[in-house]
Structure 1
Amino acid sequence: MTEGIGDPVPGGWRGWAALLAEGLGEEGQRVEFRNLAVAGALSADVHERQAAAAVRFRPDLASVVVGVNDTLRRSFDIHRLAVRLDEVCALLAGRGAVLLTACLPDPGTALGLPGPLRRPLARRQAAVNAVVHALSARYDTVHLHASDRDWTDDRSLWSVDRLHPAERGHRRLAAGFHLLLAERGLACGAPPDPEPGQPPPSRLAGALWLATEGTGWLARRSTDLLPQLLGLAAAEACHWARGTAERLDDRAEGALRQALGDLPRSPLLHGSVPRARMEG
């Protein structure tokens, strides 16, 4: 999402972070923006590669928006994700960066999957969002709520794959962060225009994308997530038939409590630094 998929511009993608960077500084003030995001990245990728590169850039603002891809992997583990994100936030905040975080919609709802397939993914994303909420309080981040129903119900916000925002969605994310940053005195420029600058893709373009890129995405997930997801869906259906679905919720909540309880008691503190650069 932060790479900008769904918001095409000549030569590649733009996305919410680039749109936000344009409105950070006053007129004539230089703002340096660097986007290290990569489509499909997991929390492990951010932890093991992107965070170190971000620290070398010495950003004043750093976005840590990740987690949905983790929910789409067979290896999903809320404990490992919490540890990784806490260490990433500690590293960047410890170097003086103000962090940007967001809770996001679950992919099952965004894709319109049936209940037995949707609920396991929703449970995973709810756990991710709970971790992000806890870290946003822990590190005093600029936190954007982007998981409400008005996000998933408004199709104009989403690209044809239903997983990445369309240009309108990217602009809404950028405007939301801009408002929150302005309230802290960290955004002095004009907010992003909420209206798209280009027409949405035609139905033909959308169909072509689904037949090429979308098919490849589904094929990759079919060898990773799909076998496990079918098992989770079968367990979901069985518990619902028996009236014991709350056991699945209790199990997920227990894993989440354990993950949050195992985080270090004292996070790193960070001081203020001049606001001029933004890391996406």
Structure 2
Amino acid sequence: MTTTIASVVEPRARFRDLVASEWLKLWSLRSTGWSLLLGALAVVAFNVGAAWDHYRYWFAYDEASRVAFVADGLALGDAFTGNAATVLVLCSAAMGAVAVVGEYGSGQVRTTFAAVPARGALVSARALVLAGVQTGFGAVVAGGSFWASQAVLSLRGVGVSPGHPGAVRLVVASALLAPVCALAGMALGAVLRRGAAAVVGAVVLLLLLPMVLSEERRLTAVLAHTAPFRAWHRLAGEGVAGPFPWSTGGAWSVYGAWAVVAVLVTVVAVRRRDQ
């Protein structure tokens, strides 16, 4: 007598199920909500603080300086300052690194890979969730900063509206800087697998290197232009002049290239290691 045992084949996880799982996993971390809240407050505070300084010391400017304040785009510069962009880069990159490193540190990654052997799909779902959350975060802080800073400046009659030349581009570029840096942080986390190392790597790669590269020589200028932080400066209206100027289209392409390469690096790093 022959006994036939039917084999049970587990159905492959659908991509939308992986996205839902990664969404729940991200928000199950207590650090997620607090990181987003504190990061948003810090970024908005830097921008509103810059606008408040101009409001407070307005009477110290002569008439020509007041006219130039709007003509030269200084009012728009208060909507999202370089210091605020630096804080945004750090917060987003750190959150991206934690999204990967946390599982490796706790050992939960073994369970995750056992449940979902398709690591490429898993990483893609995680990247999609991370990018979506960070895009929403960036939109809130960029839009909130613009509204609050210009409300302060409007008390002196120098605030600008969203229809001001370059205003929409500044807000969109500032908002999208968050997901780009978060995906870069995720890639560093997948490669280095240590939270502190990934954060330090993000600081060096995303902030320090772009700062030390000179715009005076072609090679270093081209290298500087490949950094998301320098791309944000270009889209914000800075970095237009100089011996080697570049276009806004080139700056947008830097954003896209970093996002795509970061996801690819993460997928390769996760696939090539046992855990």
Q: Which has the higher contact order (CA 8 A, sep 6+)?
A: 1
| Structure having the higher Rg | 2
TM-score normalised by the chain length of structure 2:
0.28
Instruction: Compare the two structures and name the one with the higher strand fraction.
Output: 1
